[in-house]
Amino acid sequence: MSEEISASSGKIIIAIDGYSSCGKSTLAKALARSLHYNFIDSGSMYRAVTLFMVENNISLQQLQSYSPAELNDFLDKISITFKVNPGTGFSEVYLNGKNVESSIRDMKISDLVSPVSAISAIRKRMVKLQQGYGDKKGIVMDGRDIGTKVFPNAELKIFMTANNAVRAKRRFDELTSKGYMVTMDEVHRNIEERDYADTHRADSPLRQASDAVLLDNSHLDEKQQWEFALEEFRKLNLEARF
């Protein structure tokens, strides 16, 4: 996946949505690298909020019971920024000035992030931040509602899915490779719970945008997925705009 496409003016917004553990971030990073675009992992923002909640000993039940004023106060204490890691060339998330790219991937955060992200006030605050990253275009952003809520007018939308067994195996391998002690049953349960929460929340539920192209990567490797996305980019016939 080394091909690069030269792009200057006329850059677009690419939205990649889909279920958890479908490899959205992996594809988004590869595509961003090829196009010289910025990559933003919107899910890491919700994970950072969840980490802040955990670190401050606030339970999910407490957060869900907060009044609008209390939620605003809670969110006002959170600063989420992205800085490029010079080693990888990709943006990593910082919570109140601290790099939390690794700690937000913990299974405890994964178990809590869907209900936290379902809280309307939190989604509205994060969506506003995410939309700001698209002001100059030239970004690839992945998440759950990028093509439907954050950037409904994105020029290219990809919706990713894969069967549950494949997703669970990928997630299990990812976590264990990073030293997390988890069982396959825990990973299966987490995926099923997150799927339900993501697709049933009242505010911006996970769904495929009507103009998004579907990518089922159950039996595709990373290079094949990248080639698929790059071909969809080329189909836009953007040559005149570059």
pLDDT in tens, 146-167: 999 999 999 999 999 999 999 9
Query: What pLDDT is stored for residue 95 in this prediction?
Result: 97
Candidates 34, 33, 39; CA nearest to 15 is 39
d(CA 93, CA 90): 10
Cβ burial, residue 210 (10 Å; 0-12/13-18/19+): exposed
pLDDT in tens, 99-125: 999 999 988 998 899 999 999 999 999
Structure-token pair, residue 166:
């494949």
In order of their start, the domains of the chain are 13-231 (3.40.50.300)
Count of CB atoms situated within 10 Å of the CB of 113:
25
Please, are residues 25 and 143 in contact by the beta-carbon 8 Å criterion?
Answer: no
